[in-house]
Amino acid sequence: AFHFRDCSDAAGNSAGCMYFTFPSAFFVFEDFLARKWSSEKRFGLEGCEVLIPALKTMIDKSSAAGIDSVIMGMPHRGRLNVLANVIRKDLDQIFCQFDPKLEPADEGSGDVKYHLGMYHERINRETDKNITLSLMANPSHLEAVDPVVQGKTKAEQFYRGDTQGKKVMSILIHGDAAFAGQGVVYETFHLSELPSYTTHGTIHVVVNNQIGFTTDPRVARSSPYPTDVARVVNAPIFHVNADDPEAVMYVCRVAAEWRATFNKDVVIDLVCYRRFGHNEMDEPMFTQPLMYKQICRQEQVLKKYSNRLIAEGVVTLQDFEEEVSKYDKICEEAYTSSKDGKILHIRHWLDSPWPDFFTAEGEPKSMSGVSTGLHEEVLQHISQIASSVPLEGFHIHPGVSRILRGRADLVKNRQMDWALGEYMAFGSLLKDGIHVRLSGQDVERGTFSHRHHVLHDQELDKLICVPMNHLWADQAPYTVCNSSLSEYGVLGFELGFAMASPNALILWEAQFGDFNNTAQCIIDQFISPGQAKWVRNNGIVLLLPHGMEGMGPEHSSARPERFLQMSKDDPDHFPVYFEVQQLYECNWIVVNCSTPANYCHVLRRQILLPFRKPLIIFTPKSLLRHPDARSSFDDLAEGTTFKRLIPDEGPASQNPAQVKRVIFCTGKVYYELARERKRQKLERDIAIIRLEQISPFPFDLVRAEAERYGNAELVWCQEEHKNMGYCDYVRPRFLTVVANQKPIWYVGRDPAAAPATGNKSTHLNELKRFMDTAFNLNAFQGKDL
């Protein structure tokens, strides 16, 4: 083994030199890849190879301090080297990735080699303790993985009762340009000390090669150091010369000790260079000619350091050469074995396996006969807690007290509103031992003041009561946390949290649905394609409140069209399977529920499913208090389930052959349509049917309804403008349902650039105009689509 010297301990004594050992593998690895695959992109680490022993040193030191699980996030540069020599993934599986002929043996479309994650449990040689290392899969989008790593770390700490971060920790590796440039770095730092988000200290390592692709630091940032962003949390920052391995190891030990002692973030700035271009195909002399003339003259750090040790007589040249050729041989052997009949398993690249969850392989179990309903006693108990203050002598605000009395009045009639429907879902899952975590801006009270999950004593400062945690003696914990004012960081965090365990309902609520675009990278890069790229389930729930209430262009639409456009179900294909199989095959579930009971059912179904899928729920504003948008306890009784579609149950349904028009719609606009139909006394002529689950599309139920009302015209009605909302998603699927026999007419607002007008009277005019069309039985006669 090759030796590194430690001539001073953390206290600064340099009395005697201590030698500690590890193989020179990491230096040789990049050479090996370069030799075998000279024209492949691998984002080599040359110029900063010292990163590998640096990480090992931090991990060894942390393991000695009691850490047994390390969760890491890193960009492209040096990733394969980290996988091979820090995580210690099997080399032949890494080399397999270079073989273009190999098809992955799992479902999913896969990802490029320098994005995949990995999970490995092994013995730490230095400390002889078990340690679990995971490197999270990530997209190209630099730094996007930072909050995801933090969320997953937090979740592991939470489920293990590691309240001080003494067992589980995170390490984040960054590039200098990305660390300075990407705002999510700042957002992640700001989560680092918040009670519900802290991971009790992260070690950050910046591979500071003083270049970002082709861009020099002087035009890439305004701060002197790339690491200055860490100063916002007063983190110590060590700038160290990466060509001086002893200094680097020293700094790494200090950083690990700092983290173990103070449980706060710490940053190491590894000042290095990038020997080649941005990737192996790239010519750096085009843009940095003088710098690269200098770099060419730099001796490889391994050479430099080994020459010094040989000169000092610490090792012999022979020792050194033996060491290098030993590792080369290991690589060669793995290379050979990767060639003969190896199969590429993306499954081997899972960063968060759930071994107890996926016991049976293959097809998911049927959900038929599985009810998401609840026993009357459970409903009564939850609603009683939801409408009272479970702490004696608590001074509650009179306004909140009025809200709780309002809930109690509803409950007397076995009725529930939106907030109570949510209570039923959370409360009943907690009873079954499912942890529920709701995070987002102002979620505790609720943006629209309907939720009130945290009550504040009006006389004693900081005395709070969370009734949801007083439901049952042996319930799972409920976490509700107002987040920092960030979407990108916080949604990424919750996504990471949801990766840790399938037995938890993790929800992120946007203040308003349209703010989700600040988190778009997490949605586009992780949530929508996550399972396809990384064969990983995730059951995160997004609550996106919005509504066309005449309040202007913002907050009127959470842009369902964007989510629907990314849904992968085929518009032209009538599926063979529904319910569970259809859900199993989709990339996410998109719903716009119109009743509190259905909202409760869909949240419960999320956990009762035998797999996990992201769930996007468009949640209402005005329906929170709408007197018609209520459900009876009967709608949640035992035996009931989530309704993907709610058929018309009025006079139209009694005589379907006489019905002239069927209006399909979703969500809140239903109540406006129902009111107008009543006013115009058209209840026999027009049926109104609600799609509650938009995607995957309930082809089967829509077909049954279309056939039931065989003589009727079909209409899709939405409040959103024509180029928005559900129209473009729904229309081709309707045509598949009716086999192109009938048109599906559009009723709604005209196309527009902004989601809604800022003029209240224009808003009302638009509403009146499309309501008139919806109920004018001659509207489409003689018209073309």
Ligand X SMILES: Cc1ncc(C[n+]2csc(CCOP(=O)(O)OP(=O)(O)O)c2C)c(N)n1
List all residues 6 or more positions away from 167 whose beta carbon is below 8 Å from its beta carbon: 66, 67, 68, 69, 157, 160
Distance CA 335, CA 95 (A): 6
Work out whether strand 504-509 and strand 541-545 pair parallel, antiparallel, or are unpaired: parallel
Task: Pick one of 153, 198, 352, 619: the residue that binds ligand NAG (CB under 6 A).
Answer: 619
Q: Is residue 719 at the binding interface for ligand NAG, with CB under 6 A as the rule? A: yes
Of the listed pieces 52-60, 162-170, 555-563, 641-649, which binds ligand NAG according to CB under 6 A? 555-563
Min dist. Cβ of residue 70 to ligand NAG (A): 15
Min dist. Cβ of residue 8 to ligand NAG (A): 30
DSSP letter assigned to residue 389: -
Distance CA 677, CA 686 (A): 8
Structure token pair of residue 408: 């109690």
Structure token pair of residue 367: 């959900």
Judged by beta carbon, residue 85 or residue 209, the one nearer ligand X is 209
Side chain identity, residue 241 = N
Judged by beta carbon, residue 75 or residue 529, the one nearer Mg ion is 75
Min dist. Cβ of residue 211 to Mg ion (A): 5
- Show contacts with ligand X in window 397-416 (CB under 6 A): none
Answer whether 508's CB lies under 8 Å from 539's CB: no
Judged by beta carbon, residue 392 or residue 461, the one nearer ligand NAG is 461
Residue nearest to ligand X (CB): 175
Chosen from Mg ion, ligand X, ligand NAG, none, partner binding at 142 (C-beta under 5 to 8 Å by type): ligand X
Min dist. Cβ of residue 276 to ligand NAG (A): 36
Q: Is residue 69 at the binding interface for ligand NAG, with CB under 6 A as the rule? A: no
Min dist. Cβ of residue 109 to ligand NAG (A): 19
Task: Pick one of 115, 668, 677, 733: the residue that binds ligand NAG (CB under 6 A).
Answer: 668
Judged by beta carbon, residue 76 or residue 644, the one nearer ligand X is 76
Task: Pick one of 21, 366, 655, 765: the residue that binds ligand NAG (CB under 6 A).
Answer: 765
Work out whether strand 18-22 and strand 118-124 pair parallel, antiparallel, or are unpaired: unpaired
Answer whether 329's CB lies under 8 Å from 571's CB: no
Judged by beta carbon, residue 147 or residue 725, the one nearer ligand NAG is 725
Task: Pick one of 212, 421, 427, 496: the residue that binds ligand X (CB under 6 A).
Answer: 212
Judged by beta carbon, residue 207 or residue 256, the one nearer Mg ion is 207
Min dist. Cβ of residue 94 to ligand X (A): 20
Answer whether 434's CB lies under 8 Å from 505's CB: yes
DSSP letter assigned to residue 612: -
Of the listed pieces 18-26, 41-49, 233-241, 513-521, which binds ligand NAG according to CB under 6 A? 513-521
Chosen from ligand NAG, ligand X, Mg ion, none, partner binding at 669 (C-beta under 5 to 8 Å by type): ligand NAG
Q: How far is CA 674 from CA 594, 604, 667, 678, 701, in A?
A: 12, 28, 12, 6, 21
Q: Is residue 141 at the binding interface for ligand X, with CB under 6 A as the rule? A: yes
List all residues 6 or more positions away from 464 whose beta carbon is below 8 Å from its beta carbon: 454, 455, 456, 457
Chosen from ligand NAG, ligand X, Mg ion, none, partner binding at 178 (C-beta under 5 to 8 Å by type): ligand X
How many angstroms from the chain centroid is the CA of residue 337?
36
Binding track, positions 93-132, relative to ligand NAG; x by CB under 6 A: ------------------------------------xx--
Task: Pick one of 21, 261, 366, 520: the residue that binds ligand NAG (CB under 6 A).
Answer: 520
Largest Cα–Cα separation, the chain: 100
Q: Is residue 87 at the binding interface for ligand X, with CB under 6 A as the rule? A: no
- Show contacts with ligand NAG in window 477-506 (CB under 6 A): 481-482
Judged by beta carbon, residue 149 or residue 178, the one nearer ligand X is 178
Distance CA 464, CA 239 (A): 44
Residue nearest to ligand NAG (CB): 667
Binding track, positions 220-259, relative to ligand X; x by CB under 6 A: ----------------------------------------
Answer whether 712's CB lies under 8 Å from 661's CB: yes
List all residues 6 or more positions away from 192 whose beta carbon is below 8 Å from its beta carbon: 150, 198, 199, 201, 202, 233, 264, 265
3-state secondary structure (DSSP) of residue 717: strand
Distance CA 476, CA 433 (A): 5
Task: Pick one of 59, 74, 116, 177: the residue that binds ligand X (CB under 6 A).
Answer: 177
Residue found under tokens 């700038």: 239
Q: Is residue 63 at the binding interface for ligand NAG, with CB under 6 A as the rule? A: no
Of the listed pieces 273-281, 288-296, 382-390, 718-726, which binds ligand NAG according to CB under 6 A? 718-726
Of the listed pieces 77-85, 251-259, 663-671, 736-744, which binds ligand NAG according to CB under 6 A? 663-671
Min dist. Cβ of residue 78 to ligand X (A): 8
**Site size with ligand NAG, rule: CB under 6 A:** 36
Q: Is residue 172 at the binding interface for ligand X, with CB under 6 A as the rule? A: no
Distance CA 392, CA 115 (A): 54
DSSP letter assigned to residue 475: P
Q: How far is CA 349 from CA 112, 134, 156, 331, 340, in A?
A: 12, 10, 19, 20, 20
Min dist. Cβ of residue 177 to Mg ion (A): 5
Distance CA 724, CA 717 (A): 12
Q: What residues line the site for Mg ion (CB under 5 A)?
A: 175-177, 209, 211-212
Distance CA 181, CA 162 (A): 33
DSSP letter assigned to residue 736: H
Min dist. Cβ of residue 255 to ligand X (A): 20
Task: Pick one of 213, 335, 577, 780: the residue that binds ligand X (CB under 6 A).
Answer: 213
Number of H helices, E strands in the chain: 25, 25
Structure token pair of residue 433: 């031992």
Judged by beta carbon, residue 72 or residue 694, the one nearer ligand X is 72
Report the 10 Å Cβ neighbour count for 561.
18
Task: Pick one of 42, 77, 204, 677: the residue that binds ligand X (CB under 6 A).
Answer: 77
List all residues 6 or more positions away from 253 whose beta carbon is below 8 Å from its beta carbon: 6, 10, 57, 58, 61
DSSP letter assigned to residue 85: I
Min dist. Cβ of residue 531 to ligand X (A): 22
Chosen from Mg ion, ligand X, ligand NAG, none, partner binding at 94 (C-beta under 5 to 8 Å by type): none
Upper half-sphere CA count for residue 596 (Cβ side, 13 Å): 30
Q: Is residue 207 at the binding interface for ligand X, with CB under 6 A as the rule? A: yes
The 3-class secondary structure across 293-316, one letter per residue, is HHHHHCCCHHHHHHHHHHHCCCCC
Min dist. Cβ of residue 78 to Mg ion (A): 11
Q: Is residue 209 at the binding interface for ligand X, with CB under 6 A as the rule? A: yes
Q: How far is CA 596 from CA 267, 425, 512, 514, 618, in A?
A: 47, 10, 19, 22, 13
Answer whether 114's CB lies under 8 Å from 82's CB: no
Of the listed pieces 175-183, 186-194, 508-516, 525-533, which binds ligand X according to CB under 6 A? 175-183
Q: Is residue 692 at the binding interface for ligand NAG, with CB under 6 A as the rule? A: no
Q: Is residue 517 at the binding interface for ligand NAG, with CB under 6 A as the rule? A: yes
Phi then psi for residue 130, to 5 deg, are -70, 145
Binding residues for ligand X (CB under 6 A)? 77, 140-142, 175-178, 207, 209, 211-213, 274, 278
Binding residues for ligand NAG (CB under 6 A)? 129-130, 195-196, 444, 464, 481-482, 514, 516-517, 520, 523, 547-548, 558-559, 562-563, 592, 618-620, 665-669, 718-720, 725, 759, 761-762, 765
